[in-house]
């Protein structure tokens, strides 16, 4: 499951980089101002209303649920099962699972909210900064995911 988390990090990072680059245009302009003709490269940022008229494969909330499920199965689920195995009562075990689940969801919600603040604060006014930040985070996610895959691959003889 740890390897699945690494693969998920790479996938999410690639998606973040692709989203950050969406709509940017790089093209060349041939110019001549006083000397011989030469070419300038220009980058145009996305502008105007973007038409968002397509179906999404995963519905609202499905992707965060799947990410959380893979993350939980790789880490805290094994720990929770070990603790539940030591609880003598089935009812107390179910209560522990419920409290553990609420605590995990609350902790992840809090951390996700804090991590998303730079994106929210730069989103409207500084869209270029937000896109650069998104691209950097995506590239870090890809790199860290590849690093983890290489580590787990060596661990499991892949």
User: Backbone phi, then psi, for 61, in 5-degree steps?
Assistant: 90, -10
Least confident range of 35-44, 49-58, 65-74, 123-132:
49-58
Label residue 72 by pLDDT band (50, 70, 90): confident
What span, in angstroms and rounded, lies between the C-alpha atoms of 7 and 134? 19
pLDDT digits (tens, 9 = 90+) for 90-132: 999 999 988 988 888 888 888 888 888 877 776 666 677 777 8
> How far, in whole angstroms, is CA 28 from its chain's centroid?
32
**What are the residue boundaries of the structural domains of the chain, listed by start?**
2-22+60-155
Residue by residue, DSSP assigns 114-125 as HHHHHHHHHHTT
């Amino acid at each position: 499951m740890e390897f699945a988390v690494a693969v998920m990090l790479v996938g999410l990072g690639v998606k973040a980089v692709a989203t950050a680059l969406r709509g940017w245009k790089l093209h060349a302009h041939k110019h001549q101002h006083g000397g011989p003709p030469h070419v300038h490269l220009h980058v145009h940022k996305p502008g105007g209303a973007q038409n968002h008229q397509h179906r999404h494969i995963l519905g609202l909330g499905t992707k965060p649920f799947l990410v959380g499920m893979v993350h939980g199965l790789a880490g805290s689920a094994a720990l929770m099962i070990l603790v539940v195995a030591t609880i003598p009562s089935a009812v107390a075990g179910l209560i522990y699972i419920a409290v553990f689940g609420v605590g995990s969801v609350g902790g992840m919600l809090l951390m996700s909210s804090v991590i998303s603040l730079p994106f929210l604060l730069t989103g409207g006014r500084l869209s270029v900064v937000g896109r650069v930040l998104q691209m950097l985070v995506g590239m870090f996610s890809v790199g860290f995911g590849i690093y983890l895959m290489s580590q787990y691959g060596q661990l499991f003889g892949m």
